[in-house]
Structure 1
Amino acid sequence: MSFLTLTNLKKSYGTVQVVHDFNMSINKGEFISFLGPSGCGKTTILRMIAGFETITDGTITIAGKNQNDLKPNQRNIGMVFQAYALFPNMTVFDNVAFGLKIAKVAKNEIEARVMEMLKLIHLEHLASRYPYQLSGGQQQRVALARALAPKPQVLLLDEPLSALDAKIRVSLREEIRQIQMKLGITTVFVTHDQEEALSISDRIVVMNAGRADQIGSPFEIYNNPQTRFVASFVGTLNLIEAKVVDGSTNTLQIGDQQVKVKQAVNKAHGESVTIALRPEAGSMAEGAKGDVQLSGTVSSSHFLGSVIRTRLNVGGTTICFDTFNDPAMKPPMPGESVTLKFAADDLMIIAD
């Protein structure tokens, strides 16, 4: 059942419209990520939910209650910002207790709730420290505990991990997801990092120029992109220009070679289509299975640790493919002729 509903949301600054007729229903306890480049409208939608941005048009409801005319402090929402926004003159305990004190919660209840939150983020031993005495990761966990302490209906996270180093980001995003699942709180997470969104979300909203290009599970977004933008933005992808040879048999030409795809080709002979192919889909191993194959010349090979990324020239068309690093097998060398095999299902025709 829908818990947080965004209906026909629009946001304009003067004559510039930054969010176009956005619609989404979010279930109670669901973890939703808004993913997209800077300026795509994802943070604007988050701030409209929080009440920090006025709505040009549309409706926001939480548990059936219209939020449009409520001020931020009247909405039962917790928010974690990119820059932590902790009070430097307050201890960790007092930072977490701040919202509870504003709400005039009884002193003994405040103490119990704050310690519960600090235990949840594993920082109860640092209750008396000040923000400057904490690492960036610890500060962000305190900000999370502060947002959760008043028991909000919805938790909003505005790129909370972007200021942290890579290792801390991975551990903290997993911790955020575990806490969210434990509490069962409806959560909206804004990020431009596709790995973050793919790893912790129930559903992802891929934003492009103020619109949702696609909404779906991480599996759907990655494996079945519906637009050229989603295909190119999420994951590493080959976008290959092909010519229609025979639409009735779904036969296309890539470079100087013909392939058959599973999707219907609704274009005439000689017309162009864009095909998406994930680099990990192909294999050049002997005996590899695949009902489609392309032969070409290796133009370059790059060692990336766990994988080796190879660029293959197929009659003037460049295709990248990844193979797992095997110390017993030498990577293909520039100038070497190889054959790449993959399933016809791996070739996705992308809408323009």
Structure 2
Amino acid sequence: MAFLEISHLEKSFGANRVVKDFNLDVDKGEFISLLGPSGCGKTTVLRMVAGFENPSSGAIRIGGTDLVGKRPNQRNIGMVFQAYALFPNLTVAENVGFGLKIKGAPRAEIDRRVAEMLALIGLPDLGGRYPFQLSGGQQQRVALARALAPKPQVLLLDEPLSALDAKVRVSLRNEIRAIQRELGITTIFVTHDQEEALSISDRIVVMNGGIADQVGTPFEIYNRPSTRFVAHFVGQLNVFSTDGAGNLAGVQLGAGRDFAARPEALHLGRAPGTDIVLPARISEVHFLGSVIRLTADAAGARVSLDTFNRPDVPPPAIGTDVELSLSSRDLIPLG
């Protein structure tokens, strides 16, 4: 039996069904990301698990106990919000210890736990500061420590990194994952950023229109998308047609079907092991450091391919005629 079970969860606001028959089993200690565009229902699912929204129907169980109908403070769940939600009139230490104080924990226990949490988030000497004296990344670390201090059964994170700049965001997401692994806490992380979800999740739930379109590991979601939406939403995609007018006309893959390939599946020139060759002309060159992304016009289609930077081999110039190759094994069928 899964540690966290979400069964046939539905939520409607008036006539608008925002979550539709959502089902998910989460093992103890697993890190799950809910990934999808704005308005897909991912935050509503999180808020129902937390107890801030009541489901229209369905069940939410932790350790076999149904939480529906219980107040948020009865669920032993920690939550970190996008906007930090720290108390501005309390010090860092008082913010971290707030949940324990509400529960009536002894002062010595609160002090000990606060010290543990501040050490865990790498801010052991900042307990006496106030939130306005901290950077955005530091404030979000404090919010994480506050959520973890009461030792919750489940940790929920609602787009906790979206307000931070790119470098801090990458650093903090890795810290969150390291802390989650160290504590072994079951975690659900909401994001619209596919790179975040792919980089730190055990499994990803890709949501679309209130429905879980696909649930799988990052490897499965990226390489074997089960729906057209997932294929287009996660990563960049080149779409090929095999009908008479398509850019893979004559390739024996099933007439009338569309197929997709990731940019890294295409190669400059005739690479070993490939069985599809397309004449092309380079139209764009983007140097991204270790990777060079090329855009080319191939048989009436605009395609992208990624190559690794090699200091001794400059990329082809715009306007250069080239051949692109790929293997039919790397094509993703689109339903």
Q: TM-score range by the shorter chain?
A: over 0.9
Letter of the 1:100 counterpart: L
Whether the 8 Å contact between 1:289 and 1:341 is mirrored in structure 2 is no
Quick one: distance in 2 between partners of 1:343 and 1:55? 47
Cα shift at 1:300: 2.8
Quick one: distance in 1 between partners of 2:287 and 2:110? 54
Cα shift at 1:343: 1.9
Cα shift at 1:106: 1.1
Whether the 8 Å contact between 1:309 and 1:322 is mirrored in structure 2 is yes
* 1:153 counterpart residue number: 153
* 2:320 counterpart residue number: 336
Quick one: distance in 2 between partners of 1:37 and 1:304? 25
Quick one: distance in 1 between partners of 2:297 and 2:317? 13
* 1:65 counterpart residue number: 65
Q: 1:345 aligns with which of 311, 316, 329?
A: 329
Equivalent residues in 2 for 1:204-283, closer than 5 Å: 204-243=204-243, 254-255=246-247, 257-261=249-253, 265=254, 269=255, 272-283=256-267
* 1:136 counterpart residue number: 136
User: Cα deviations across residues 265-323 of structure 1 (Å, max 9, x unaligned)?
Assistant: 4xxx5xx3221100011211565442222222223333333222222222212221111
Q: Decide which moves more: 292-301 or 219-228.
A: 292-301
Equivalent residues in 2 for 1:78-157, closer than 5 Å: 78-157=78-157
Question: Please, which runs of 5 or more residues in structure 1 have no aligned partner?
Answer: 246-252
Cα shift at 1:259: 2.7
* 2:40 counterpart residue number: 40
Whether the 8 Å contact between 2:241 and 2:248 is mirrored in structure 1 is no
Whether the 8 Å contact between 1:46 and 1:156 is mirrored in structure 2 is yes
Whether the 8 Å contact between 1:257 and 1:315 is mirrored in structure 2 is no
Letter of the 1:94 counterpart: E
Identity of aligned residues (%): 60
Quick one: distance in 1 between partners of 2:287 and 2:182? 40
Whether the 8 Å contact between 2:242 and 2:248 is mirrored in structure 1 is no
Quick one: distance in 2 between partners of 1:348 and 1:50? 37
Cα shift at 1:44: 0.2
Question: Please, which runs of 5 or more residues in structure 2 have no aligned partner?
Answer: none
Whether the 8 Å contact between 2:55 and 2:68 is mirrored in structure 1 is yes
Whether the 8 Å contact between 2:270 and 2:325 is mirrored in structure 1 is no
* 1:249 counterpart residue number: none
Q: Secondary structure at the match of 2:32?
A: strand
Quick one: distance in 2 between partners of 1:273 and 1:333? 33
Instruction: Determine if the alignment matches structure 1 residue 19 to structure 2 residue 19.
Output: yes
Quick one: distance in 2 between partners of 1:195 and 1:158? 16
TM-score (norm 1): 0.92
Alignment CA distance shift 1:36-1:287 (3 Å): closer
Quick one: distance in 1 between partners of 2:69 and 2:21? 19
User: Cα deviations across residues 184-212 of structure 1 (Å, max 9, x unaligned)?
Assistant: 10000000010100000000000001001
Alignment CA distance shift 1:256-1:283 (3 Å): closer
Alignment CA distance shift 1:37-1:256 (3 Å): closer
**Which 4+ residue blocks in structure 1 deviate beyond 6 angstroms?**
none
* 1:52 counterpart residue number: 52
Q: Decide which moves more: 289-298 or 79-88.
A: 289-298
Letter of the 1:211 counterpart: I
Instruction: Determine if the alignment matches structure 1 residue 297 to structure 2 residue 297.
Output: no
TM-score (norm 2): 0.96
Quick one: distance in 1 between partners of 2:42 and 2:321? 45
Whether the 8 Å contact between 1:281 and 1:342 is mirrored in structure 2 is yes
Q: Secondary structure at the match of 2:46?
A: helix
Whether the 8 Å contact between 2:242 and 2:249 is mirrored in structure 1 is no
Quick one: distance in 2 between partners of 1:70 and 1:256? 56
Report the RMSD for the aligned CA atoms in angstroms.
1.5
* 2:176 counterpart residue number: 176
Instruction: Determine if the alignment matches structure 1 residue 314 to structure 2 residue 307.
Output: no
Whether the 8 Å contact between 1:257 and 1:294 is mirrored in structure 2 is no
Q: Secondary structure at the match of 2:150?
A: coil
Q: Secondary structure at the match of 1:124?
A: coil
